[in-house]
């Protein structure tokens, strides 16, 4: 079994920053083998891809709306993936989820659809006010 726990969400004014963290654990889960991703879901909208990072951090990919503002990174020694969010906008308001694709070991990806991910965290709320 795999557990993913997000933290770092909160409320911030437009133009502000937040850093989300997602810690992975599990008896048979080797964090540094798998790509990780961040998704978000706003009220009344479908879950959408935000960013993904390969197993070793060597490859990253972002949705166009966050390029230049968000940075995904990982620390495999801490079994944690991060999402640094700068220049936040009201339209970034959503529940943010991290996920992992355990179907592919040591894969570069990128994985940009929810169906490609096998385990999900519970989500953390990000609210950006204007």
pLDDT at 45: 96
Q: Is residue 76 exposed (0-12), middle (13-18) or buried (19+ Cβ within 10 Å)?
A: middle
Model confidence over 43-61: pLDDT tens digits? 999 999 999 999 999 999 9
Burial (CB count <10 Å: 0-12, 13-18, 19+), residue 41: middle
Q: Give the chain's end-to-end CA distance (angstroms, integer).
A: 40
Neighbours of 120 (CB within 10 A): 17
* Residues of the chain predicted below pLDDT 70: none
Q: Which pLDDT does position 108 carry in this prediction?
A: 84
């Amino acid at each position: 079994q795999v557990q993913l726990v997000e933290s770092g969400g909160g409320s911030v004014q437009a133009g502000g920053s937040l850093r989300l963290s997602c810690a992975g654990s599990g008896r048979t889960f080797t964090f540094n083998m798998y790509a990780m991703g961040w998704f978000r879901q706003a009220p009344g909208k479908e879950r959408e891809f935000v960013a993904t990072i390969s197993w070793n951090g060597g490859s990253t990919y972002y949705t166009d709306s966050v390029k230049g503002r968000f940075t995904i990174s990982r620390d495999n020694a801490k079994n944690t993936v991060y999402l640094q969010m700068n220049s936040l906008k009201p339209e970034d308001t959503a529940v943010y989820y991290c996920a992992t694709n355990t179907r592919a070991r040591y894969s570069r990806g990128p994985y940009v659809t929810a169906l490609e991910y096998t385990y999900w965290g519970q989500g953390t709320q990000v609210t950006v006010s204007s």
